[in-house]
């Protein structure tokens, strides 16, 4: 079993933050799963500062990996894209400010799909992150580096971002815990935008309690993000082992075509476990689920086409030479963006163009409303929804790279959550042919407490999270 | 009199007003006081559009927009939101401009101007909020420049874009509309028109129901009038040759006074508007009523009050209220001396002297104006002497009393004038003869001689009266 935050706290009693951080740095160095895009040169100095100043924040001396699309002052932030190679932000994201204040040591930036666009971390300009359970398989995406680093014990906790499942997917593929908070629960200030109306920063760890602890730190109000909402958090307070009377809804549409039989079985087993623990389940219908995927991709790509316009080589990052500004900007974008990013910019541009705007973008917004209503209706009757996080375990590297549509299809169970803006957590619920499978627990708006409680109870009463990569066959 | 509009001229204006009296920019906390600063010193990650930055709407800017809407007799929308207008330009750091699209904060208003045939209503279609981009500094001309520098100090400044209906029928009406608009905005205390780039105009113009052209980025009201005059002439010439005016965007070359084609309609952008996801829709609701209560007296109301309170003629009231600083100046003067005299002195004399020197009212003090009017009213100096004091202060400085002493402007005593009248009549018997022969003009000559003898320190009107009296008494 990998160390969690409580283990690090214990160690800190007898040794120093410097030693703890150094031991993790060593693990990262020895690893060949390509989970990081860069390591913070000052990681040891940060740890020494914790030691010398006796900093006692809730994360004092805890090394943390940060997805490479979250701005870190003085530390390269590239979104795993050649266009931002060499870009060092002059400011910290809200979550980074909070982490530093809590005493955490920003140990490095974790690998991801370029600008968050992908489900496998294969579109990174720095190459794919390998799944710690099987190096021929993907780590999931787009926060693949953040999940793999945690699952391989290179850091106890990390931050990812989730636009259509980007925290939950790699958590499921790597056997980690990943939370996508309610839209507005965590400030996006400093998160390099991919699809603003969908994405949230979310924590990854090997235990539910560590995810909760991280949420207590980052999930605070920030007036620099107009979509950030003031709310009563208390994530750690929600860590109870008690699901007596919990009403679970099981949406039939999340167990449809394309969902691996083994995955379905493991999720139903998990639901059975909840029954044993005193919860009850009913089948619910979310009739607009089949349209969610299409709506999601239109909205995400539309927003992305606008967000990525600023990367033109003029002010920061990397540029190509051209005889005038138009040529310079055009060549920069042509040469420095990867294929998937260009595909999404073009599709998004198309969807927003005059003549197509109503047919695609506006229609997608209408579907979004319907999807949202599905959730609102469901939560009138149940406390949480449960479903597979991903339709299959981690697939092989390269398997879906030439077939973007099949790759997009693997997001089928995660994207409706982002369209609606509700919170969702993925916890390990077993193994299929030696690969981890994730159970997705979805909650009502700002009701992270209930899904944390459910996930925590499941973890306490099962042993999936105690397995280490290589142990399971 | 009805203005026929012989050429069927239709002019519509789009005016970008920079809300430079706000302390901070539209979406971030950067200071707006950049006009005399080094380039790129008033910037932050947000107005630079750095990756990861998010906008936060300046509440005061919304309040200003509502004030403007109320002053232009507009409807204020219940719920407003921002859109992204996507286009590429190096001065636009995010690759899109955050602006308002289908829900502008205010719409459907009206402004009354002095038209070609009396009062004329110009309808306001809408006014919306948006951010200013940065500024490009080309090294040399735009075509041949070897490099371009970008100053982002202006980036993110709050703008209000006011769009009129094509209700103006001549360049003169367009200019009057612009003057009136500036006037109103200054009364609202939402912007300082003296700062560079505070008001920028795009003009749409068509004649005889033909296609319209748009002249972009005109920086002054005078420039707008000139550009429109040129454009009317150009379009008339096209029609005279039997050709059709094509819809296009043109640039006004201030130096040459001509408009040049920039792009025709085929190249128009598709801006791909969509709602700005980082700014939530906003309800203004009861806020509007609160703002309405704080709305100041506007130019038209002040003009009416000047007429009723101070009994001045309409031309004076108009002249005094067309610039809030002049109106304030006048009211301060009028509170200390006879308001009727003050109206004449401020509007006819002082404003004329200021205009002649291209100075504004801040170049003169209320205290000096009051003193000068008092000197005239008490008969200590002549009107001519007063004008001389004003000119002296503007050109060389000094205080009214010092100038009076220095230039010997105190009016001469009555007996000196008496004596001068007697002397002049004795010295000019021929002129007197002419006067008796019916030549009224020779009396003016005689009065002039008296003025000469007293070096202008006598009052011409009373000299004339004394002259007639003396003639009646001793020469009939």
Q: Are residues B122 and B26 in the same domain?
A: yes
> Residue A318 falls within a domain, yes or no?
no
- pLDDT tens per residue, range B214-264: 999 898 999 999 999 999 999 999 999 999 999 999 999 888 889 999 877
> Residue A226 falls within a domain, yes or no?
yes
Interface contact B272-A354, CB threshold 8 A: yes
pLDDT in the model for residue A249? 98
Pairing of strands B148-151, B135-138: antiparallel
Query: Cβ neighbours of residue B385 under 8 Å, at least 6 residues apart?
Result: B375, B376, B404, B407, B409, B411, B456, B457
Query: Cβ neighbours of residue B211 under 8 Å, at least 6 residues apart?
Result: B244, B245, B246, B247
A contacts of B88 (beta carbons < 8 Å) = 309, 312, 329
Percent over 90 (pLDDT), chain B: 72
Query: Cβ neighbours of residue A466 under 8 Å, at least 6 residues apart?
Result: A1
> Residue A297 falls within a domain, yes or no?
no
- CATH of residue A406: 3.90.1300.10
Q: Are residues B237 and B287 in the same domain?
A: yes
> Residue B3 falls within a domain, yes or no?
no
Last residue of a domain, one of B377, B407, B437: B407
Inter-residue contact A215 to A448 (CB < 8 Å)? yes
Percent over 70 (pLDDT), chain B: 98
Q: Are residues B165 and B287 in the same domain?
A: yes
Distance CA A132, CA B111 (A): 70
> How close does chain A come to B279, measured CA to CA in Å?
6
pLDDT in the model for residue B267? 59
> Residue A442 falls within a domain, yes or no?
yes
> Residue B4 falls within a domain, yes or no?
no
Strands of A90-189 (E only): list them. 105-110, 130-131, 134-138, 157-162, 177-180
Q: Are residues B339 and B308 in the same domain?
A: yes
Distance CA B176, CA A195 (A): 46
Token pair, residue B97, equals 């401009």
Last residue of a domain, one of B407, B423, B442: B407
pLDDT in the model for residue A472? 61
Phi, psi of A72 (to 5 degrees): -125, 120
Instruction: Give the domain extent around B392.
Output: 299-407
Last residue of a domain, one of B365, B389, B407: B407
> Residue B2 falls within a domain, yes or no?
no
- Closest Cα partner for B129 from B155, B97, B151, B154? B97
Inter-residue contact A359 to A337 (CB < 8 Å)? no
pLDDT in the model for residue B167? 97
User: Whole-prediction pTM value?
Assistant: 0.90
pLDDT in the model for residue B450? 86
Q: Are residues B374 and B457 in the same domain?
A: no
**B272 has a chain A CB within 8 A of its CB:** yes
The string of DSSP codes covering A295-322 is HHHHHHHHHHHHHGGG-SSSSSS-----
Q: Are residues B69 and B191 in the same domain?
A: yes
Q: Are residues B337 and B394 in the same domain?
A: yes
Q: Which residue stretches of B86-197 are H helix?
A: 171-188
Mean pLDDT of B313-321: 94
Which of the four pLDDT bands, split at 50, 70 and 90, describes residue B406? confident
> Residue A298 falls within a domain, yes or no?
no
Q: pLDDT of chain A along its 473 residues, tens only?
A: 899 999 999 988 888 999 999 999 999 999 999 999 999 999 999 999 999 998 888 999 999 999 999 999 999 999 999 999 999 999 999 999 999 999 999 999 999 999 999 999 999 999 999 999 999 999 999 999 999 999 999 999 999 999 999 999 999 999 999 999 999 999 999 999 999 999 999 999 999 999 999 999 999 999 999 999 999 889 999 999 999 999 999 999 999 888 999 999 999 999 999 999 999 999 999 999 999 999 999 999 999 999 999 999 999 998 999 988 899 999 999 999 999 999 999 999 999 999 999 999 999 999 999 999 999 999 999 999 999 999 999 999 999 988 888 899 999 999 999 999 999 999 999 999 999 999 999 999 999 999 999 999 999 999 998 888 866 64
Interface of B with A in 152-211 (CB under 8 A): none
Q: Are residues B36 and B148 in the same domain?
A: yes
> How close does chain B come to A307, measured CA to CA in Å?
8
> Residue B1 falls within a domain, yes or no?
no
Residue of B nearest to A305 (CA): B86
Nearest to A314 among B45, B55, B90 (CB): B90
> Residue A471 falls within a domain, yes or no?
no
Q: Are residues B52 and B159 in the same domain?
A: yes
Q: Are residues B164 and B187 in the same domain?
A: yes
C-alpha separations of B190 from A148, A322, B19, B67, B293 in Å: 55, 43, 6, 9, 16
**A392 has a chain B CB within 8 A of its CB:** no
Interface contact A90-B50, CB threshold 8 A: yes
Using the CB atoms, write b or e for A313-322: b if 16+ within 10 Å: bbbbbbbbee
pLDDT in the model for residue B414? 66
- pLDDT tens per residue, range B73-102: 999 999 989 999 999 999 999 999 999 999
Interface contact A309-B50, CB threshold 8 A: no
Mean pLDDT of B108-124: 95
pLDDT in the model for residue B437? 86
What are the residue numbers of the active site of A?
67, 142, 166
Distance CA B379, CA B341 (A): 13
- Closest Cα partner for B346 from B324, B331, B336, B359? B331
Inter-residue contact B332 to B326 (CB < 8 Å)? no
> Residue A337 falls within a domain, yes or no?
no
> Residue A266 falls within a domain, yes or no?
no
Q: Are residues B181 and B78 in the same domain?
A: yes
DSSP summary character for residue B245:
P
What domain count does chain A have?
Answer: 1
Distance CA B183, CA B185 (A): 6
pLDDT in the model for residue B426? 86
Which of the four pLDDT bands, split at 50, 70 and 90, describes residue B265? low
Q: Are residues B71 and B140 in the same domain?
A: yes
pLDDT in the model for residue B416? 77
**A331 has a chain B CB within 8 A of its CB:** no
ipTM: 0.94
What domain count does chain B have?
Answer: 3
Average pLDDT, chain B: 92
CB count within 10 Å of CB B241 equals: 7
Q: Which residue stretches of A382-447 are H helix?
A: 404-409, 415-420
- Statement: residue B266 has pLDDT above 60: no
- CATH of residue B422: 1.10.10.410
Nearest to A310 among B93, B277, B279 (CB): B93
Interface of B with A in 90-149 (CB under 8 A): 90, 93-96, 148
> Residue B377 falls within a domain, yes or no?
yes
Inter-residue contact A179 to A448 (CB < 8 Å)? yes
- Closest Cα partner for B322 from B434, B148, B194, B181? B181
Instruction: Give the domain extent around A80.
Output: 3-247+378-464
């Amino acid at each position: 079993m990998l160390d969690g935050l409580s283990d690090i706290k214990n160690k800190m009693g007898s040794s120093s933050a410097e030693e703890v951080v150094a031991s993790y740095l060593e693990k990262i160095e020895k690893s060949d799963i390509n989970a990081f895009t860069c390591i913070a040169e000052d990681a040891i100095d940060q740890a020494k500062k914790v030691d010398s100043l006796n900093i006692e924040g809730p994360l004092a001396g805890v090394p943390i990996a940060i997805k490479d699309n979250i701005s870190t002052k003085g530390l390269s932030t590239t979104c795993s894209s050649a266009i931002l190679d060499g870009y060092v932000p002059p400011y910290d994201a809200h979550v980074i400010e909070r982490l530093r204040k809590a005493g955490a040591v920003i140990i490095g930036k974790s690998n991801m799909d370029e600008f968050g666009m992908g489900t496998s971390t294969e579109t990174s300009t720095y190459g794919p992150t390998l799944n710690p359970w099987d190096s021929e398989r993907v780590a999931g995406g787009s926060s693949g580096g953040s999940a793999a680093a945690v699952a391989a014990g290179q850091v106890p906790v990390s931050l990812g971002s989730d636009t259509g499942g980007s925290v939950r997917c790699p958590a499921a593929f790597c056997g980690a815990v990943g939370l996508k908070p309610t839209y507005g629960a965590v400030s996006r200030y400093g998160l390099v935008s991919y699809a603003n109306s969908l994405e949230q920063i979310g924590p990854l760890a090997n235990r539910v309690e560590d995810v909760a602890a991280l949420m207590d730190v980052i999930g605070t109000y920030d007036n620099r993000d107009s979509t950030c909402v003031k709310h009563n958090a208390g994530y750690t307070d929600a860590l109870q082992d008690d699901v007596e009377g919990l009403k679970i809804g099981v949406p039939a549409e999340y167990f449809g075509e394309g969902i691996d039989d083994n995955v379905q079985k493991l999720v139903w087993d998990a639901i059975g476990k909840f029954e044993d623990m005193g919860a009850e389940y009913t089948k619910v219908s979310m009739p607009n689920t089949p349209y969610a995927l299409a709506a999601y991709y239109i909205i995400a790509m539309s927003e992305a086409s606008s967000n990525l316009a600023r990367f033109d080589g003029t002010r920061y990052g990397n540029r190509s030479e051209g005889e005038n500004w138009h040529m310079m900007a055009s060549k920069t974008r042509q040469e420095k963006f990867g294929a998937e990013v260009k595909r999404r910019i073009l599709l998004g541009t198309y969807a927003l163009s005059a003549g197509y705007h109503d047919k695609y973008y506006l229609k997608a917004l209408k579907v979004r409303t319907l999807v949202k209503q599905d959730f609102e209706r469901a939560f009138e009757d149940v406390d949480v929804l449960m479903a597979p996080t991903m339709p299959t375990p981690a697939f092989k590297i390269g398997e879906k790279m030439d077939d973007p549509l099949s790759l997009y299809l693997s997001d089928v169970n995660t994207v409706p959550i982002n369209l609606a803006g509700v919170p969702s957590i993925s916890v390990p619920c077993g193994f299929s042919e030696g690969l981890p499978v994730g159970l997705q627990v979805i909650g009502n708006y700002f009701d992270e407490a209930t899904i944390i409680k459910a996930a925590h109870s499941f973890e306490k009463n099962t042993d999936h999270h105690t397995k280490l990569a290589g142990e399971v066959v | 009199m009805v203005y026929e509009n012989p050429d069927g001229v239709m002019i519509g204006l789009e005016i970008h007003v920079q809300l430079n009296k706000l302390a901070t920019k539209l979406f971030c906390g950067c200071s707006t006081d950049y006009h005399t600063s080094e380039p790129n010193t008033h910037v932050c990650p947000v107005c630079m559009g750095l990756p990861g930055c998010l906008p936060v709407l300046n509440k005061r800017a919304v309040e200003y927009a509502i004030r403007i809407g109320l002053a232009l007799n507009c409807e204020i929308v219940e719920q407003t939101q921002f859109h992204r207008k996507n286009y590429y330009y190096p001065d636009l750091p995010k690759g899109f401009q955050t602006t308002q699209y289908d829900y502008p904060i205010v719409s459907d208003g009206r402004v009354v101007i002095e038209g070609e045939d009396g009062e004329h209503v110009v309808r306001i279609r809408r006014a919306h909020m948006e951010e200013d981009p940065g500024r490009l500094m080309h090294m040399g001309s735009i075509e041949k420049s070897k490099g371009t520098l970008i100053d982002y100090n202006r980036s993110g400044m709050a703008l209000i874009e006011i769009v009129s209906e094509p209700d103006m029928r001549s360049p003169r009406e367009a200019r009057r509309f612009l003057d009136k608009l500036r006037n109103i905005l200054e009364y609202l205390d939402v912007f300082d028109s003296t700062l560079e780039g505070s008001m920028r105009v795009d003009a749409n113009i068509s004649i005889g129901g033909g296609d319209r052209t748009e002249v972009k980025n005109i920086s002054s009201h005078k420039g707008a009038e000139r550009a429109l005059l040129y454009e009317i002439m150009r379009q008339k010439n096209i029609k005279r040759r039997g050709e059709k005016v094509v819809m296009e965007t043109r640039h006004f070359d201030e130096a040459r006074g001509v408009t040049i084609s920039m792009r025709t309609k085929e190249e128009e952008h598709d801006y791909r508007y969509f709602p700005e996801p980082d700014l939530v829709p906003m309800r203004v609701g009861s806020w509007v009523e609160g703002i309405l209560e704080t709305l100041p007296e506007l130019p038209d109301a002040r003009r009416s009050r000047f007429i009723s309170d101070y009994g001045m003629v309409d031309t004076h009231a108009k002249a005094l209220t067309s610039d809030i600083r002049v109106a304030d100046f006048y009211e301060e003067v009028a509170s200390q001396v006879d308001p009727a005299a003050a109206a004449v002195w401020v509007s006819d004399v002082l404003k004329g002297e200021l205009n002649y020197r291209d100075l504004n009212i801040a170049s003169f003090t209320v205290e000096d104006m009051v003193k000068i009017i008092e000197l005239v009213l008490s008969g200590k100096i002549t009107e001519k002497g007063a004008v001389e004091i004003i000119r002296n202060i503007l050109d060389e400085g000094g205080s009214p009393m010092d100038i009076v002493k220095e230039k010997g402007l105190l009016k001469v005593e009555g007996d000196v004038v008496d004596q001068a009248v007697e002397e002049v009549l004795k010295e000019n018997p021929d002129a007197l003869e002419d006067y008796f022969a019916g030549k009224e003009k020779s009396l003016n000559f005689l009065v002039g001689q008296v003025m000469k003898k007293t070096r202008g320190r006598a009052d011409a009107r009373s000299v004339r009266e004394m002259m007639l009296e003396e003639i009646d008494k001793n020469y009939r």
